[in-house]
Amino acid sequence: MSHPQFDHEAILRDLNELVVNCPDLTRIESLLGSFNIFQVLRSEWGELKHSNVLAWLLDPAESHGFDGLFLQKWLMRVTHGETAYERRPVTPVEIDAWDLRSVEVRREFMSIDVLIILTMGNGAVWVVCIENKVNSFQRSGQLSRYRQIVEEEFPGAVHKLFVLLSKNNETPHDEAYISASYHQVHAALCEAVTQRRMSIGNEPRLLIDNYMRLLEEKFMNQSEIANLARTIYKKHQRAIDVIFAHRPQNSLGTTRPIVIHLLSSQAESLGIVMGPCSKNFIRFIPREWDQPGNSHGGASLWAHSKLQILFEVDFSSACPRLLIVGGNPPPEWAAATQSKCDGEGFRHLPNQRRNGHWPRFYSEALEALSLDEILNQELAAQAIFEALQDRLASEDMKKVIATIADELPALDAHYQAKAQPQGS
């Protein structure tokens, strides 16, 4: 008699039971199959997209119909959070009783994700600085740098509130920041929708409903979908384990050619020049780096390319990474350039490949893929491409690209000097 784990007849019975007599499975399929504009646009994990929606919701002048209600409800929840009491400059009671006269919401102000400037009836100014992390993490000194910007730009503000909003409940590296969650965004949205149901137009309501459902499905553990999934797994564990064990396999490597095509076809709009690619790496440079100073690398560095510094997308691990890598540049030039990149809030990694010949100026994991994307190479490739697109468009990345471009003439001068005959 075979072991139950390998009892094919029992497993087949379990699979039949799952597909025939599991109303919960039908329900979860209907929930997951319903239209959602964020999934259609593949924007579930796009940090810039979430920041754009958040800025829209927080602006009383926008078309959502909330006026300042969502802004007020969300700030009350943030300042009432567990980590808020010692760090908050203002209390939920003060927010509830405020006499709000005007609100200005800024996106990417000096690289700050969302900045809100509130003016009260008595002329007092409050400033809220929001750093948004969906599937990325804080970089060294980033929060402190943004706090310094706010303190210098708004010295007369009565209240300055610094918020780290994250999916993964990160602890802020800067103690001035309050930790906030997307659960609070969802809860404040539920309150605002309930109270202003009649003033929300049909088009904004569609967007808001889609966004709330996205938060429930992707950002919260207590959604209807999560509860149904746990119930189904508990009842049909053996069948589901077999399905998962035989799921279609899709390694990141199979998405690489599609990502190369997407990058190549959009190179002009992205402002990049494609470089030499290999089995595990996609390589490119910004147009700003296409200059003589970036042409002194050895022919053996990047598949016979003479680029000295470039971007790499590394597909060799479970999660794709975006890196800026140098190909054996002069150590003094690399150290000085890394230091200037650090000044822009980037953190280079001390570990270097090939005995220090390949310094990394930047390294960051790209956004995690959803289950649908993991199982579908075209969806995975599109998600990776959009994450690269968002990262290249960010203000801090633009600053680092410009910083390195400014240093390339010095690199060219170094090699020109070495090429001069001795004594000339």
Residues 227, 235: Cα–Cα separation, whole Å:
13
Within a domain: 17: no
Q: What is the DSSP letter of 198?
A: G
Is 180 within a domain? yes
Do 336 and 399 sit in the same domain of this protein?
A: yes
Distance between CA 272 and CA 290 in Å, rounded?
9
Instruction: Provide the domain limits for residue 389.
Output: 252-419
Q: 175 and 94, same structural domain?
A: yes
Claim to verify: residue 191 and residue 266 sit in the same structural domain? no
Q: What is the pLDDT of residues 125-139, one digit of tens each?
A: 999 999 998 866 677
CA angle centred on 358, ends 355 and 361, rounded to 5°: 125
Residues 194 and 268 in one domain: no
Do the domain assignments include residue 136?
Answer: yes
Q: Looking at 175, 200, 225, which one is the last position of a domain?
A: 200
Indicate whether 54 and 157 sit together in one domain.
Answer: yes
Task: Give the residue among 359, 294, 281, 373 at the shortest CA–CA distance from 320.
Answer: 281
Please indicate, yes or no, whether residues 173 and 64 belong to a single structural domain of this protein: yes
What's the CA gap between 204 and 159, in Å, rounded? 31
Give the integer Cα–Cα distance in Å for 348 and 140.
9
Query: Is the whole model's pTM more than 0.75, yes or no?
Result: no
Same domain, 193 and 273: no
Would residue 12 count as lying in a domain? Answer: no
Q: Is residue 400 part of a domain?
A: yes
Q: Say yes or no: 47 and 124 in one domain.
A: yes
Do 145 and 271 share a domain, yes or no?
A: no
85 and 181 co-located in one domain: yes
Both 377 and 301 in one domain: the answer is: yes
Q: Is 23 helix (H, G, I), strand (E, B) or coil?
A: helix
Q: Is residue 225 part of a domain?
A: no
220 falls within a domain: no
| Residue 349, domain member (yes or no) | yes
Phi and psi at residue 338, to the nearest 5°: -60, -40
Same domain for 277 and 162: no
Per-position pLDDT tens, the chain of length 424 = 344 445 667 767 776 776 677 776 666 665 555 666 656 555 556 677 888 899 999 999 999 999 999 999 999 999 987 666 667 788 899 999 999 999 999 998 988 999 999 999 999 999 999 999 886 667 778 899 999 999 999 999 999 999 999 876 788 989 899 999 888 999 999 999 999 888 888 888 888 888 888 887 777 655 555 666 777 777 777 767 766 666 555 456 678 888 998 999 889 989 999 988 888 899 999 999 999 989 887 655 676 678 889 999 988 776 788 989 888 888 888 888 888 877 655 544 444 444 456 788 888 887 666 555 555 677 778 888 888 988 888 888 888 899 999 999 999 898 888 777 665 5
Could you give the maximum distance between any two Cα atoms of the chain, in Å?
89
- Pairwise CA distance, residues 355 & 412, whole Å: 23
Domain count, the chain: 2
Q: Are 162 and 174 in contact (CB under 8 A)?
A: yes
DSSP string, 109-160: ETTEEEEEEEEETTS-EEEEEEEEESS--PPTTHHHHHHHHHHHH-TT-SEE
